[in-house]
Structure 1
Amino acid sequence: MKVREEISKKMNALGAAGEPFVFLIDFEGERAEIFSTDDSNRILWKTREASNFKTEPVHPEIGQWEIEPVSFDTYKKGFDLVQKHIHNGDTYLLNYTQPTSVKTNLSLTDIFERSAAPYKILFRDEFVCFSPEAFVQINNGKIASFPMKGTMDAGIENAEELILKDSKELAEHNTIVDLIRNDLSLVAENVTVEKFRYLERIRTNRRDLFQVSSKITGDLPGDYTKKIGDIIFTMLPAGSISGAPKKKTVEIIKAAENYERGFYTGIFGYFDGQNLDSCVLIRYIENCNGQLVYKSGGGITFMSEAEKEYEELIKKVYVPIFA
């Protein structure tokens, strides 16, 4: 039985029983884990309203933070392939990512304990994630998604006005909102864009950033808890970190990126027996045989410029930690 079918059935069964659980699903839906909510031996986690740890110890300072992204030439090879497919009409928005090696005095645990983010996950010694982006939230039968597209250095003069007026960012955000609205329509009725393109400020160890999000909602059927796994898997992979149209775009992603995303850009979620909160696994550092690797990227459209997109990839290599 395929992983997604097996995990979906387990989630449905737990949902029908009203039993709380947390879960991880990788980008390709080929690896998934379900945990009890208090399983702190294998995973530590925090959402906006809940967590499975209570205290955080004193932490070391950031004594070292050195990054080594892929070269621009390497980045551009994949970028050019993406643009070729865009101009061929195979995709019109694609989230293109690449790995960056990181040298720091901090361990994954140190980063997890010190970082400030709406969602935090520490999975064994495998990865740490401090995500600002919700995937979906379910509250009393109402489902909401918050696609995030658009990033700018908050230190730039008139940054708030510039990012909201940027035609490339606007087109990219419109595409993602439309895609997520369609995704929600697969599982819910009365789907509505409640809030369009609002700004959030994110503090990091390198600079403050503005990021642009929207809020889309819909109404789930009355027996949604019995279908919680089906609901989640129907909407995967998340539109904001894949692109449109999804199936073909994911094929292009694999060819252009030439590395394994793994759990990066997958999802984490917490179901309390009735309601659910989940996030997209971005702002993510993985332990690759002792080498820390930060995975990041951004949306590519026909208006994208390779140099600017490469800069954005590097700009996102941060930790939300302050001295």
Structure 2
Amino acid sequence: MFPPYHQNFDLMDDLSQQKVPFFFMVDFLMENVEVFQENEINKNSLLIDFQNFKNIKEVEAGNQEIDLKVFSESEENYRKGFDFVKENLRLGNSYLTNYTIKSEIEINLTLKEIFYRSRAKYKVLYKDHFVFFSPETFVEIIGDQIFTHPMKGTIDASIENAAEILKNDVKEKAEHYTVVDLLRNDLSMVANDVQLDEFQRIDFLKTQQKNLYAMSSKISGKLKPEFQNKIGSLMKTLLPAGSILGAPKPKTLEIILEAENYERGFYTGVCGWFDGENLDSCVMIRFIEKENGKLFFKSGGGITHLSKFADEYKEMKNKIYVPIH
């Protein structure tokens, strides 16, 4: 069972029915739901840079050379959770499990400087607590249409024929098919006429450390009447996001909570901006959090029965980057 839902989901329903703009954040376990009307955003030390909404001033980005040191989780520690996940996959308790860890990092920038200097589709700085720079849309609503863009599968772009390798890799393809299928089913709970519009699109992600290719698809549907102008009810039904959880959802969540030796918090949760008519939301990944004065980068990937330990450990480390160039 998922944890009890927060009353702020009801507030989101009320505001969206009244067509009042607001920004929201829901953590991974749906235990913390924060809602900010437009006039409350700046009071809460919240900086937002979305495609359709920004509350930031353009500032001089600075040209200071980035010094990022990563202290990755040891192979031994990573393997404990990985083996537990693989055993559950073998037993048929899950067929895709998104396994993540946190790695300590040191960087010669503040969270605010990281926010301003990074380049991403979605960026948020929350107080001096966390910053993320996510490339992944969760759901968009335009009129009565809903869209989702599952992103699953990455590869180092410097590898020869990297995009073709990614598209044809048996493990990555299986993982992508699974997430597309899962999100098609999820969308069917809130929408009719659900269809796959685009499959296995390859996006280029430029970073200072290394460039990556990521694989995405696009799914759309027409919102059911009971979910129109009800953003809270919609999120309550769709979350946790399938792309960062796995399938089937309830059992896979149990596996994740046992395998991971830390709390995700807002990492892999969802946040979004409702402008009074339409919604744009993202999955909170590529995430740096401050804990007791130290910085931690949370990262991971989808594990299937085809996953190899060395490949998954490498992918988890590949995703520890800051998109500054």
Give me the TM-score of the superposition, normalised by structure 1. Answer: 0.97
Q: What's 1:94 paired with?
A: 97
Contact persistence 1:60–1:106 (CA under 8 A): no
SS across alignment from 2:174: helix
Counterparts of 1:209 and 1:260 in 2: how far apart (Å)? 27
Q: Distance in 1 between matches of 2:248 and 2:98?
A: 12
Whether the 8 Å CA contact 2:9–2:33 is kept in 1: the answer is: no
The answer as to whether partners of 2:192 and 2:221 remain within 8 angstroms in 1 is yes
CA RMSD, Structure 1 to Structure 2 (Å): 1.2
Structure 2 letter corresponding to 1:215: K
CA distance in 2, matches of 1:304, 1:28: 25
Structure 2 CA distance for aligned equivalents of residues 40 and 3 of structure 1:
29
Q: Which residue of 1 aligns with 2:73?
A: 70
The answer (yes or no) to whether the contact 2:6–2:30 under 8 Å persists in 1 is no
**Equivalent residue, structure 2, for 1:37:** 38
Equivalent-residue separation in structure 2 for 1:73 and 1:175 (angstroms): 28
1:3 offset after TM fit, Å? 6.4
- 2:93 corresponds to which letter in structure 1? D
1:241-274 CA deviation, whole Å, 9 max, x = no partner? Answer: 0000000101100100111000000011000011
Q: Report if aligned partners of 2:147, 2:221 keep a CA contact under 8 Å in 1.
A: yes
Q: Which consecutive unaligned segments of at least 5 residues does structure 1 have? A: none
Q: Return the letter of the residue paired with 1:286.
A: E
Query: How far did 1:41 drift?
Result: 3.4
Within the alignment, does 1:232 sit opposite 2:260 as a pair?
no
How far the C-alpha of 1:60 sits from its partner, in A, is 5.3
Distance across 1 between alignment mates of 2:66 and 2:155 = 26
**Distance across 2 between alignment mates of 1:195 and 1:266:** 24
Residue in 2 aligned with 1:289? Answer: 292
Aligned position for 1:206: 209
Secondary structure of 2:187's partner? helix
1:140 and 2:143 matched: yes
Aligned to 2:130: 127
Residue pair 1:200, 1:212 contacting (<8 A) in 2 also: yes
User: Offset at 1:59?
Assistant: 2.8
The offset of 1:293, in angstroms, is: 0.2
Query: After the TM superposition, which of the residue ranges 215-224 and 241-250 deviates more from structure 2?
Result: 215-224
Task: Report the AA paired with residue 199 of structure 1.
Answer: I
Residues 1:302 and 2:313 aligned together: no
Could you say what secondary structure the match of 1:41 adopts? Answer: helix
Q: 1:54 & 1:312 partners in 2: Cα distance?
A: 35
Partner residue of 1:312? 315
Deviation, structure 1 residue 228: 1.4
Distance in 1 (CA, whole Å) between partners of 2:59 and 2:226 is 38
Matched, 1:57 2:56: no
| Cα deviation digits, residues 77-132 of structure 1 (max 9, x gap) | 10000011001110010000011111111010000000100000000111001000
2:267 counterpart residue number? 264
SS in structure 1 opposite 2:38?
Answer: coil
Question: Taking structure 2 as the reference length, what is the TM-score of the superposition?
Answer: 0.96
Whether contact under 8 Å (2:155, 2:162) holds in the other structure is: yes
Contact 1:62 1:104 in 2 (8 A): no
Q: After superposition, where does 1:207-222 map in structure 2 within 5 Å? A: 207-222=210-225
The code of the aligned residue for 1:66 comes to K
Give the superposition deviation at 1:63. 4.0
Task: Say which of 143, 162, 180 aligns to 1:159.
Answer: 162
CA distance in 1, matches of 2:65, 2:288: 16
For residue 244 of structure 1, the aligned residue among 247, 252, 276 is 247
User: 2:179 & 2:66 partners in 1: Cα distance?
Assistant: 38
Counterpart residue identity of residue 262, structure 1: G
**Structure 1 Cα separation of the partners of residues 288 and 62 of structure 2:** 18
Residue 43 of structure 2 aligns to which amino acid in structure 1?
A: N
CA distance in 1, matches of 2:304, 2:226: 39
Contact persistence 2:6–2:33 (CA under 8 A) = no
Tell me which of 276, 280, 287 is aligned to 1:277: 280
Q: Which one-letter code corresponds to 1:219 in the other structure?
A: K
C-alpha contact (below 8 Å) 1:66/1:104 kept by paired residues = yes
Matched, 1:193 2:219: no
Rounded to whole Å, the distance in 2 between the matches of 1:93 and 1:266 is: 18
Q: In 2, Cα distance between the equivalents of 1:115 and 1:174?
A: 30
